[in-house]
Amino acid sequence: MIETSAISPADNSNQPTPASKSLGFEFRGDGMEYFKIWIVNILLTIVTLGIYSAWAKVRNNRYFYSNLYVDNDNFRYLADPITILKGRLIALTALIAYYVASIFLPIVAIVLAIALFFAVPYFINQSVAFTNRMSSYKNIQFRFKGSYGQAFMVVYIWPILGMLTLGILYPLALLKANEYFVRNSAYGTSHFDFNATYKDYGMIFLTVLGIAIVVGAPIAILTYFVPAISVISPLVFIVMYFALIVYVIVSFTNLFYASLSLVEHKFEANLTVPAQAKVILINLLLTIVTFGLYLPAAKVRMTKYICSCLTLHASGSLDNFSAAEKESISALGEEFGQVFDFA
Contact indicator for 324, 1 with CB cutoff of 8 Å: no
The percent helix, strand, coil of the chain (3-state, each to 5) is 60, 15, 25
Number of domains in the chain: 1
Structural domain includes residue 16: no
> The whole model's pTM is what?
0.87
Length of the chain measured in residues: 343
For CA atoms 281, 287, 290, 295, give the dihedral sign.
Answer: positive
Structural domain includes residue 134: yes
Contact indicator for 205, 170 with CB cutoff of 8 Å: yes
316 Rama sector, left if φ>0, alpha if ψ -120 to 50, beta otherwise = left
Please give the distance of CA 259 from its chain centroid, rounded to a whole number: 16
Q: Say how far apart CA 163 and CA 168 lie, in whole Å.
A: 8
pLDDT in tens, the chain (343 residues): 333 333 444 444 444 445 689 999 999 999 999 999 999 999 999 999 999 999 999 999 999 999 999 999 999 999 999 999 998 898 888 889 888 988 988 998 899 999 999 999 999 999 999 999 999 999 999 999 999 999 999 999 999 999 999 999 999 999 999 999 999 999 999 999 999 999 999 999 999 999 999 988 888 888 878 777 777 888 888 999 999 999 999 999 999 999 999 999 999 999 999 999 999 999 999 999 999 999 999 999 999 999 999 999 999 888 878 766 556 667 777 766 655 444 4
Structural domain includes residue 202: yes
Structural domain includes residue 165: yes
Structural domain includes residue 7: no
Contact indicator for 266, 211 with CB cutoff of 8 Å: no
Determine whether 1 is exposed, middle or buried from the number of CB atoms within 10 Å of its CB (0-12, 13-18, 19+).
exposed
Structural domain includes residue 222: yes
Distances (CA, A) of 184 to 192, 327, 329: 7, 15, 15
Structural domain includes residue 2: no
Structural domain includes residue 3: no
- The domain containing residue 180 runs over which residues? 22-339
Q: Which secondary-structure segment (H or E) carries 222?
A: helix 198-225
